[in-house]
Chain A
Amino acid sequence: MSAAFWSMGGYARYVWPCMALAGVVLAWNLWSARAYRDAARQRARRALAMSPGETA
C-alpha cells in the first residue's frame, strides 16, 4: 500500500475516521445482536430448568 493511498489526497483525516466508524457500528451491531440472542437463550434455559415438568 502506497502512502498516496493512505493520505487519500489529503482527506485522510475525514475518510479514515468514517471507515473506522462504519466498522465500529457494524461490529457493535453484530456483537449486540449476538449478546441479545444469547441472553434470551440463557433466560429461556433458566426458565425451563426452573419448571422442568410444565410445558404449557
Chain B
Amino acid sequence: MWTWFYKLASPPSVYAAAGALAPWFLATAAVAIVYGLVDGLVFAPPDYQQGDAFRIVYVHAPSAWMSLFSYTSMALAGAIALVWRIKIGHAVAAASAPIGASFTLLALVTGSLWGKPMWGTYWAWDPRLTSELILLFLYFGVMSLRSAFEDPARGDRAAALLGIVGLVNVPIIHFSVTWWNSLHQGATVAKIGKPAMSLSMLWPLLAMLLGFMLFYGAVLCMRLQGEVLNRERQAKWVREAIKS
C-alpha cells in the first residue's frame, strides 16, 4: 500500500521532481510577489492610523508567517525521517532551516523598522518580536547541531530531535512571552489597533503570502537537490542525474 509512497520519496524521484518543480514555483512566486507589491504599495489606500507605514506589513507579515511555516515543516520533516526512517525527510529539514532562518531575520528587521515610527523605538520587547527572536535562536541551535557532527547521518537525527523539541516549545515560548509582556509592559508601546483590514489592503497581503510560500517552495527545491546529491554521492542514479 505504501510502496508508491516510498518510491515517490526515493532520492532519485525527489531529485527529479524538485528540479522540475523549481522553475514553476519561481515563476508563479514572481507573479504573485510583483502583483502584491504593486497593488500593496501603489493602489492600496493608506491606513487611517498608520498612514503609509503600514505598507511594511506586505513584507513583514509574510516573512513572519514563513519563519513559523518553515520551522514547522523542518520539524515535521525531521520527525517523519526519525520515526519512519524516510531519509529524504532529513534532506528536507536541512534544506528548510537556512531559508526559515533568513525569513526570521527579515521579519525581525522589518518589524523593528516598523516599530520605529509606530512605537518610537526600533526595539520594543513586544511579545511577537521577542518570540521571533527566540525562534531565530532555535534555528541557530538546530543548524549548528546538524553541522557539529562528523557523521552527517548522526547530525541529521540529532537535529531532527532538537527540531521536534523546539516545535513543542514554540507555543509555550510564545505564551510565556505574552504573559511576561502583560506583566511588565507599561504604556510605552502604543497598542496598535487591529481594525478589520479592508479588502483592498487584504488582497495584496494574501498575494504576498502566496508569493512567499511559492518562493519558499522554489528555494527549497533547489536546496533539496543539493542536499540529496550530498547524501547520495555514491548512488548509481547520480551518474545519470548529473550528466546533463
Contact = CB atoms under 8 A, between A and B. Distances in A.
A and B pair up: yes
Contacts of A10: 51-52
B236 A29 contact: no
Contacts of A9: 46, 51-53
Interface size bracket, B side: 35 or more
B72 interface: no
B99 interface: yes
A43 B117 contact: no
Secondary structure at the B interface, as helix, strand, loop or mixed, is helix
Secondary structure at the A interface, as helix, strand, loop or mixed, is helix
Given A22-B110, A41-B229, A44-B238, A11 B223 contact: no
B234 A56 contact: yes
Interface in B55-105: 55-56, 59-60, 63, 98-99, 102-103, 105
Contact of B53 (A11, A37, A45, A47): A11
B242 A25 contact: no
B235 A32 contact: no
A21 B214 CA distance: 19
